[in-house]
Structure 1
Amino acid sequence: MSGHGKSAIVIGGGIAGLATSALLGREGYSVTLCEAHDDLGGRAGTWEHDGFRFDTGPSWYLMPEVFEHFFRLLGTSAEEQLDLAPLVPAYRVYSEPSESGSTRSVDVVSGRAEAIDLFEQIEPGAGVRIDEYLDSAGDAYDLAISRFLYDTYETKAGLIDPTLLRRLPQLVPLLTRNLAAHIDKKFTDPQLQKILAYPAVFLGGSPYGVPSLYHLMSHLDLDDGVRYPRGGFVTVIEAIANLARAQGVHLRTNAPVKRIRTRNGRALGVTLETGEEISADLVVSTADLHHTETALLEPSEQSYPQKWWDKRVPSPGALLILLGVRGSLPELPHHTLLFADDWRSNFEAIFGTDTHIPDPASIYICRPSATDDTVAPADHENLFVLVPIPADPTLGHGGTEGSGDETIEHAADAVIAQISSWCGVTDLAERVVVRRTIGPADFLDDLNSWRGNSLGLAHTLGQSAFFRPGNVSKKVDGLYYAGTSALPGIGLPMCLISAELVIKRLRGDRTAGPLPEPAGSEV
């Protein structure tokens, strides 16, 4: 193995750090992971209170083949590690009530035939167009997996591959037209347009800012299907942590890193906040990249100094509302989306020059208790509500039972009232028995998240693929990066890939595709 006899330190115990540690252990490295907090998970955290267990981060299990490939690299499988439940419907969509107060909801069921039927019912003629759209989305997704996402871009050889060059006439429009414009040319119904455009938020951006190549996301929810790991996303974190331990990784919590130690332009290890020094042959930081560059390194060692960040676009901030609710909520399936009529103004409020919390907002609600009876007490429901808001820590901190900053709690009250009105749960506020809010200032304080953003660098064209920060320092030998702001990007699957890209760098593997799976792995 390439790492035999060598040591590595991984900074950060989120999914990227845990996955990187496990893969480094498999390569033969002696690995120590340093996590600042009591618990592992990072953005994929969990909070328990009064019999409720809330995921505090990711809640969509998409790109299952990426998880499967990662598990196979470690000699196991998703089936062995997780209990995945398919969701039917994949999600429900509520539109803003009309002046008469009536609401319009649509259940989206995964599957090509189901998508065609739904689109045709809502907009005659759209069935044929969504069939073509999903063909294109699937093709773009396959291209991303085979050519873009697993490429370290150490060289540009993959970009001038003849197979890819032949695709340029199809690719150029997808890279130069934004997602909203691409959708609006094909579909006229506002609700259908939003069903196709909302995945831009998963990419940390706006449909008016991300390139239309990312229409590939519709392949995931409309064609491929949406799943849920029973027990919550903490089970994904626990599975990967256990695999890391099985590879001999030492997982240290309550071990915040103060500085990456260097000498003569080479990483030597880290210094903890306690003053303890840990030496290693290489360091991988999966902490927030802005924090890594501007706080853990000296100015002369920074590949991405503050002036670089001043020209970049963060993902949105987030208002998270965790609610324990008495009684049942049949109005809400596992996933629910609320789309405001003034869609564009919502995104202007988040990404524009005069930023503010949108009202009414476009909202995502997860009710895991619809699928999982372990996340709430009997006769109660568990709600995780996410409201995209500006990445601005001055909006404030959240808190429990209304104790957060005024701006955050006032916005949370408005969101609860909005859910009550739009979804027909007239007594929702009165039934809340547990409440916690999380704001951009919490993301900054707890995760060192740049500008309090919730996901990482937005996937604009100028912050995607080879334009995104690479996974190796340009100034410090032996320092590598993984996580949401480095290649390839935002989301749990992307973090798994970012861990694999570290291994590809160490092996000198410059191919564009995934690492070979161990002999005997099933395809």
Structure 2
Amino acid sequence: MTSPSVTRNGSRVIVIGGGISGLASAALLAKEGHEVTLLEKGPTVGGRASSWEADGFRFDLGPSWYLMPEVFDHFFKLMGTSAAEQLDLVALDPGYRVYFEGETEPVDIPQGLDENLALFESIEPGSGEKMRRYLASSRDTYDIAKKRFLYTSFRSWAPLLRRDVVTRLPTLGRLLLESLDSLVSKTVRDPRLRQILGYPAVFLGSSPFETPSMYHLMSTLDLDDGVLYPQGGLTTVIQRIAALAEEAGVRIVTDATVTRIRTSGGLRPRATGVDWSDASGAVRAEFADLVVSAADLHHTETALLPTELQSYGESYWASKNPGPSALLMYLGVEGELPELEHHTLLFSRDWNDNFSRIFHEPKSIPEPPSLYVCKPSVVDPSTAPEGRTNLFVLVPLPADPAIGSGSLPAGYLGDGSGAGEPGSARLEEIGDAVIQQIADWTGVPDLASRVVLRRTRGPGDFVDDYNSWSGSMLGPAHTLAQSAMFRAGNVSKKVRGLFYVGGSVRPGIGLPMCLISAEVLLKNLRGDTSTEPLPEPVPAPAPARRDPVAQG
């Protein structure tokens, strides 16, 4: 239902997909005055950032790191509120813990720049001052990226010809052409520190050996800014954005699978709506002036448009890197696990081999893999029953749907059968080995026997649930050829009134990037080619309080 406080004076818009980019796009467009309908194929919104509950446990199904908090706050302010009003954010200290293959003691990454400089100095004498310069460069690159490269669709080069960009061109050129691993290797020698500085490439769906060193900007997020956690998990962020969208007047329809983007016109047709099917299989038509796809770009282009209207057809994808897939495990564990922090990383010794197996042919499963474990239940008791622990495990794998799909415990299919769903034998074998690896490396020898709930997901699930290209976990990797202006654009080249948002397109992968892509959409509709974030509305002054004494 349209909020009575919203004046409708814009276009009818259909948004395909209810992940964070679709929800944010719908919310901003509705606040702008457009009449917006959002169609989500799943039973709930959230996409990769959905949640799952069973036996008193609640799991974030995908993203679990709350990074770039100012991007979330900026979005909320565009919607007339703030992150402080919408979320209960907790600072994590340590931000995360790292276990290294063959090392007996983990390394804890503390909260605060000075503390991290002291940590690096204690591990490698002389590295503290080098890291100060590295993080100063990281901060500067991060700030210029936000000001000039993230909030733009690159539809015009003129706004980039600014003094702050031009004077940095030699540095920016070097950072684009040099790999992240190369820059890191010039800064620190200790292999543990090199891995700590290189692992953020995984957030970008890439490898430190192929990611441009410009992305060393990621280190400012954890080593300088620190790591936050929204109570209730990342699904709480989704819930708040969905609520704001509906409050602005967005009509959200779930169990709605879009099967075709409708077009009409001659040489350059216009998007006129979509066909979609509901949970019963009945086909419906929905008409609009504009269509925004927040779905996987490969699926949008190759499945929802005819060949002659595809801006990014199969030939485009043939030479692209899909980034990694993953094994995801959701484990309910008996008792506490003090050996693990809220965020815990396990890094294998042969870093290069791990990434080569995932990204290069012939692809294979890393042995042993580097992996990530999230344990939110200490900070957020609502995620697990008392006396039990919630674990989310992510193991990067090659983007190959043939690896299989995951399992669902008996009684949780949602169709009343109670039969459960077995996972592929290969994926479950990997899961067994990973649980044992966590046990061995972190010193919890009885971990496997303490698991009381287990669900897995794999590359096949990403295809089935998100129409993900090649079973990719995140979207196209942030290699040089797939970053910034080289990444797929936000506007169809062949269909007027068709726009793209989400991790497949500019600016890229991750929840903050998806929020920014929604703002880039708004700029495109306004004809705004600026590079800065949109101005935040000035809050209305609070009404003056009456002084009963003065009034008396």
TM superposition score normalised by structure 2: 0.92
Indicate the residue corresponding to 1:189 in structure 2. Answer: 190
| Counterpart mapping for 1:11-410 below 5 A | 11-97=16-102, 103-264=104-265, 265-273=269-277, 274-401=282-409, 403-410=422-429
d(CA) in 1 for partners of 2:70, 2:249: 26
Task: Return the letter of the residue paired with 1:104.
Answer: E
Task: Return the letter of the residue paired with 2:522.
Answer: I
d(CA) in 2 for partners of 1:431, 1:46: 23
Matched-pair contact (CA < 8 Å) for 1:115–1:130: no
Superposed CA offset, 1:89-114 (max 9, x none): 0000000125xxxx220100121111
Superposed CA offset, 1:389-435 (max 9, x none): 00000000110359210110000001000000000011000000000
Would you say how many aligned residue pairs link Structure 1 and Structure 2?
518
Matched-pair contact (CA < 8 Å) for 1:393–1:452: yes
Matched-pair contact (CA < 8 Å) for 2:160–2:531: no
**Cα distance 1:521–1:171, how it changes in 2: closer, same or farther (>3 A)?**
farther
Superposed CA offset, 1:434-466 (max 9, x none): 001100011011110000000011111111111
d(CA) in 1 for partners of 2:126, 2:142: 25
d(CA) in 1 for partners of 2:386, 2:407: 25
d(CA) in 2 for partners of 1:328, 1:483: 37
Matched-pair contact (CA < 8 Å) for 1:327–1:379: yes
d(CA) in 1 for partners of 2:86, 2:372: 28
Matched-pair contact (CA < 8 Å) for 1:339–1:363: yes
d(CA) in 2 for partners of 1:355, 1:347: 10
Cα displacement (A) at 1:152: 1.2
Task: Return the letter of the residue paired with 2:276.
Answer: L
Cα displacement (A) at 1:244: 0.2
d(CA) in 2 for partners of 1:431, 1:205: 34
Cα displacement (A) at 1:2: 11
Point out where structure 2 has 5 or more consecutive residues left out of the alignment: 1-5, 410-420, 542-552
Matched-pair contact (CA < 8 Å) for 1:97–1:104: no
Indicate the residue corresponding to 1:505 in structure 2. Answer: 524
Matched-pair contact (CA < 8 Å) for 1:178–1:209: yes
Cα displacement (A) at 1:3: 7.2
Equivalent of 1:494, from 500, 507, 513? 513
Cα displacement (A) at 1:131: 0.7
Q: Secondary structure at the residue paired with 2:107?
A: strand
Superposed CA offset, 1:121-151 (max 9, x none): 0000001111111100000000110010001
d(CA) in 1 for partners of 2:422, 2:287: 42
Matched-pair contact (CA < 8 Å) for 2:80–2:539: no
Point out where structure 1 has 5 or more consecutive residues left out of the alignment: none
d(CA) in 2 for partners of 1:292, 1:256: 12
Matched-pair contact (CA < 8 Å) for 2:13–2:292: yes
d(CA) in 2 for partners of 1:3, 1:179: 48
d(CA) in 2 for partners of 1:343, 1:107: 20
**Cα distance 1:386–1:430, how it changes in 2: closer, same or farther (>3 A)?**
same
d(CA) in 2 for partners of 1:359, 1:43: 26
d(CA) in 1 for partners of 2:168, 2:116: 27
d(CA) in 2 for partners of 1:378, 1:7: 48
Percent of aligned pairs sharing the same letter: 57
**Cα distance 1:233–1:204, how it changes in 2: closer, same or farther (>3 A)?**
same
Do structure 1's residue 428 and structure 2's residue 447 form an aligned pair? yes
d(CA) in 1 for partners of 2:510, 2:63: 8
| RMSD of aligned residue pairs (Cα, Å) | 1.3
Indicate the residue corresponding to 2:499 in structure 1. Answer: 480
Matched-pair contact (CA < 8 Å) for 2:95–2:226: yes
d(CA) in 1 for partners of 2:445, 2:95: 24
Query: Which of the two has higher C-alpha Rg?
Result: 2
Q: Secondary structure at the residue paired with 1:154?
A: coil
Matched-pair contact (CA < 8 Å) for 1:3–1:24: no
Matched-pair contact (CA < 8 Å) for 2:102–2:349: no
Which moved further from structure 2: 105-114 or 337-346?
A: 105-114
Task: Return the letter of the residue paired with 2:358.
Answer: I
d(CA) in 2 for partners of 1:218, 1:5: 41
Q: Secondary structure at the residue paired with 2:357?
A: helix
